[in-house]
């Protein structure tokens, strides 16, 4: 990535969208509330979102990014010049990148039920004036997508050029292209699956148990106190392991010790190995930025996701989609294994849909889609370009 | 590589593509097995309005097909077509690839599992020059387009037209049409075709409506 030194003598990425800020939209109203799949209603819904690039006059160049479990609206650029880290998918979004902001208008919003600006369990319930906590309606991927879809209409866009997402984000892409087929021209589904497998549910269950079992949980009404920070940190530690691979963990940490080259023979020392120290650090950092209630709701939404639910088969579920698909999985991803992506590709082929698929080789496990930007760029860039060309030829 | 050694046919791309396209119906669905950079797919899609999908193992080829705006699934033909549902396509194309796969018999069965009809182009190793080369010099022929020695060649299986016919019979596939390719021209029929044809084109279909078992 080309970089130039600016006046402050710090390195600046010339292909960055630069300094961006999060915007807020208020969607739905008392007369037309957001109706959850469970039947519950909420209004209004506040959505935190960011946009990069410019919507053109034809309004045909909008690309929507769906973030994964613990992501947020800040996908690219920085919020301030001295920010240490850019947005979570900065490698993919920016001038001359796969999602080229010279060409496309890129939108990313925090999901419903989240805790980074969009209405979720930590928000104030307008009906009671108190935080929702566990009175927030039961959440599904479809409810998340209903809000995304409404935001797109709110921004004056009839049809998106593409919806792009990895992991839980990929599930949103799938639900979106099935439930709002005429809103999506192209779908990019990375390291994802048409349903969460038992193994994924198992790890989510452990994470939730850690939160529930924390004495600070207080039935979800912990906002005036410390909250279930040990439980949430533990949930993150477990989940973090599932995002890595055996190889990457071995390569990065091996059996190396953190502070010494000799064992301490001390029972309570919890950060002796580098991998231990790393996981504790990940847990601690996560607690600072994430709400335990959101974690409960969003992991449950993931567990419940099954695209073929209510249909005879997966192929039947996808038969009305209009979008062309690009699906990619990673050879070292054991949380969303290749077999699940292939199941989706087979179903799409069976009903004659336009679908391209690759299994990419990358050592970083499930997280590969966030790290291994090169091959993705080579495939996503032409996929979007060709989709736009086809749209304009219509 | 000696200049005097027989060169396996380097069929003109145009000839093979035209031949294949003549046997495909307008607007039909086609899967191109070993699609390369998607050249034939683009013609089928653009000139004949076919619904095409490519299969290729190389990431660079997948990217090339996507740059044409066409769908492509990365897969290794040596592992069969397990991810392609049965009876999904009108035609499956296997152009100059059969001799390169590890298990040609399984792939042919798979091909006619996923598609109603199969189009195959293969070099004919029954050609008299091949026989002569082996007899006279005792050497394995080398292609011009793929100048590999026998130990580096991607061509794993050598079959004659007669071998091919026999195999089709044994796996329950019918040869609807067979066209010998002689000196860069495809002909309806020829005397002593197995001696004279450098390659052959076949249009295949299942003998019964039953879908053959998956390999």
pLDDT of B188 reads 83
More confident: B132 or A33: A33
Cα-flanking dihedrals φ and ψ of residue A150, to 5°? -70, -35
pLDDT digits (tens, 9 = 90+) for A138-153: 999 999 999 999 999 9
Pair B174, B212: CB distance under 8 Å: no
Per the prediction, chain A carries an average pLDDT of: 95
pLDDT digits (tens, 9 = 90+) for A50-64: 999 999 999 999 999
More confident: A378 or B198: A378
Distance CA A121, CA A292 (A): 9
* Complex ipTM: 0.92
pLDDT of A245 reads 96
Q: Hey, are the CB atoms on A357 and B65 less than 8 Å from each other?
A: no
Whether B152 shows a pLDDT value over 80: the answer reads no
Which chain B residues have any C-beta within 8 angstroms of a chain A C-beta? Answer: 29, 51, 53, 59, 62-63, 65-69, 71-74, 83-85, 88
Whether A271 shows a pLDDT value over 80: the answer reads yes
Pair B101, B78: CB distance under 8 Å: yes
pLDDT of B209 reads 52
Q: Domains (ranges, CATH) in chain A?
A: 15-195+310-393 (3.40.50.1820), 202-299 (1.10.1740.110)
DSSP line for B171-199? TTEEEEEEEEEETTEE-S--TTHHHH-SE
Nearest CA to A22 out of A102, A90, A116 is that of A116
Told to judge if A366 belongs to the known catalytic residues of this protein, a careful annotator would answer yes
pLDDT of A103 reads 98
Whether B212 shows a pLDDT value over 70: the answer reads no
Pair A112, A121: CB distance under 8 Å: no
Angle at the Cα of A132 from the Cα atoms of A131 and A138, rounded to 5 degrees: 165
- Mean pLDDT across the stretch B109-116? 96
pLDDT of A3 reads 41
pLDDT digits (tens, 9 = 90+) for A307-316: 999 999 999 9
Whether B11 shows a pLDDT value over 80: the answer reads no
The share of chain B scoring above pLDDT 90, in percent, equals 53
- Mean pLDDT across the stretch A323-339? 97
- Mean pLDDT across the stretch A227-247? 97
pLDDT of B129 reads 74
Residue among A333, A367, A368, A372 flagged as catalytic:
A333
Distance CA A228, CA A217 (A): 5
Per the prediction, chain B carries an average pLDDT of: 86
> How far lies B43's CA from each of A75, A352, A394, B20, B25, in Å?
39, 19, 19, 11, 13
Pair A257, A277: CB distance under 8 Å: no
Nearest CA to A272 out of A253, A290, A288, A259 is that of A259
Whether B3 shows a pLDDT value over 80: the answer reads no
pLDDT of B161 reads 87
- Mean pLDDT across the stretch A264-284? 93
Pair B117, B90: CB distance under 8 Å: yes
Whether A381 shows a pLDDT value over 90: the answer reads yes
Domain ranges of chain B: 10-125+158-205
How many Å is the Cα radius of gyration of chain B? 17
Q: Hey, are the CB atoms on A352 and B66 less than 8 Å from each other?
A: no
Measured between CA atoms, how close is B200 to chain A, in angstroms? 30
Q: Hey, are the CB atoms on B73 and A383 less than 8 Å from each other?
A: no
Whether B84 shows a pLDDT value over 90: the answer reads yes
Q: Hey, are the CB atoms on B85 and A346 less than 8 Å from each other?
A: yes
Q: What is the largest CA-CA distance in chain A?
A: 71
From chain A, the residues in CB contact with B74 under 8 A are 357-359
Q: Residue B95 forms beta bridges with which residues?
A: B121
Cis peptide before A191 (omega within 30 of 0): no
Residue A191, number of CB atoms within 10 A of its CB: 30
Whether B215 shows a pLDDT value over 50: the answer reads no
C-alpha of B70 from chain center: 21
The share of chain A scoring above pLDDT 90, in percent, equals 93
Told to judge if A333 belongs to the known catalytic residues of this protein, a careful annotator would answer yes
Helix (H) or strand (E) holding B32: strand B29-33
Is CATH 3.40.50.150 the right assignment for the domain spanning B10-125+158-205?
yes
> How far lies A27's CA from each of A32, A44, A157, A207, A356, in Å?
9, 6, 15, 31, 35
pLDDT of A9 reads 40
């Amino acid at each position: 990535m080309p970089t130039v030194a600016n006046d402050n003598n710090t390195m600046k990425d010339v292909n960055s969208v630069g300094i961006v800020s999060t915007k807020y939209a208020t969607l739905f109203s008392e007369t037309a509330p957001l109706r959850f799949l469970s039947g519950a209603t909420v209004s209004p819904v506040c959505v935190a979102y960011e946009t990069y690039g410019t919507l053109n006059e034809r309004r045909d160049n909008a690309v929507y990014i769906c973030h994964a479990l613990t992501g947020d609206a800040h996908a690219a650029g920085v919020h301030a010049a001295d920010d240490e880290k850019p947005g979570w998918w900065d490698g993919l979004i920016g001038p001359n990148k796969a999602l080229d902001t010279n060409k496309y208008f890129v939108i990313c919003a925090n999901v419903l039920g989240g805790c980074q600006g969009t209405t979720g369990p930590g928000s104030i319930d307008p009906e009671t004036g108190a935080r929702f906590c566990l009175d927030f309606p039961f959440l599904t991927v479809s409810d998340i997508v209903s809000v995304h879809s409404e935001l797109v209409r709110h921004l004056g866009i009839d049809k998106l050029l593409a919806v792009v997402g990895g992991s839980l984000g990929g599930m949103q892409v799938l639900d979106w292209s099935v439930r709002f087929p005429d809103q999506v021209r192209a779908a990019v589904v990375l390291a994802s699956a048409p349903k969460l497998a038992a193994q994924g549910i198992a790890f989510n269950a452990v994470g939730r148990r850690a939160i529930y079992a924390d004495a600070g949980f207080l039935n979800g009404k912990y906002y005036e106190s410390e909250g279930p920070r040990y439980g949430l940190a533990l949930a993150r530690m477990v989940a973090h392991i599932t995002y890595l691979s055996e190889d990457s963990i071995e390569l990065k940490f091996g059996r190396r010790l953190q502070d010494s080259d000799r064992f301490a023979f001390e029972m309570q020392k919890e950060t002796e190995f580098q991998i231990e120290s790393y996981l504790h650090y990940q847990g601690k950092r996560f607690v600072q930025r994430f709400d335990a209630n959101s974690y409960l709701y969003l992991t449950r939404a993931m567990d419940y996701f099954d695209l073929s639910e209510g249909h005879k088969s997966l192929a039947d579920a996808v038969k009305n989609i209009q979008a062309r698909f690009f699906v990619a999985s990673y050879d070292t991803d054991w949380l969303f294994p290749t077999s699940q992506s292939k199941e989706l590709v087979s179903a799409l082929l069976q009903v004659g849909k336009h679908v391209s698929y690759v299994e990419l080789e990358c050592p970083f496990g499930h997280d590969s889609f966030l790290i291994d930007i090169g091959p993705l760029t080579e495939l996503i860039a032409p996929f979007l370009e060709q989709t736009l060309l086809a749209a304009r030829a219509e | 590589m000696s200049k005097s050694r027989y060169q396996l046919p380097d069929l003109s791309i145009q000839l093979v593509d035209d031949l294949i396209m003549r046997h495909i119906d307008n607007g039909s669905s086609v899967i191109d097995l070993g699609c390369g950079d998607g050249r034939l797919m683009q013609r089928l899609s653009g000139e004949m309005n076919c619904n095409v999908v490519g299969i290729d193992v190389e990431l660079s080829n997948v990217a090339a097909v996507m740059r044409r705006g066409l769908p492509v699934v990365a897969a290794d033909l040596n592992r069969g077509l397990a991810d392609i549902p049965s009876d999904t396509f009108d035609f499956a194309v296997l152009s100059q690839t059969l001799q390169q796969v590890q298990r040609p018999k399984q792939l042919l069965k798979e091909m006619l599992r996923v598609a109603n009809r199969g189009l195959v182009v293969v070099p004919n190793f029954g050609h008299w020059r091949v026989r002569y080369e082996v007899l006279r010099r005792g050497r394995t022929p080398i292609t011009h387009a793929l100048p590999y020695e026998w130990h580096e060649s991607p061509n794993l299986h050598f079959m004659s037209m007669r071998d091919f016919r026999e195999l089709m019979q044994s796996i329950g596939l019918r040869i609807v049409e067979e066209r010998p390719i002689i000196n860069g021209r495809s002909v309806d029929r020829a005397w002593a075709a197995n001696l004279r044809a450098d390659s052959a084109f076949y249009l295949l279909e299942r003998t019964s409506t039953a879908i053959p078992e998956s390999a």
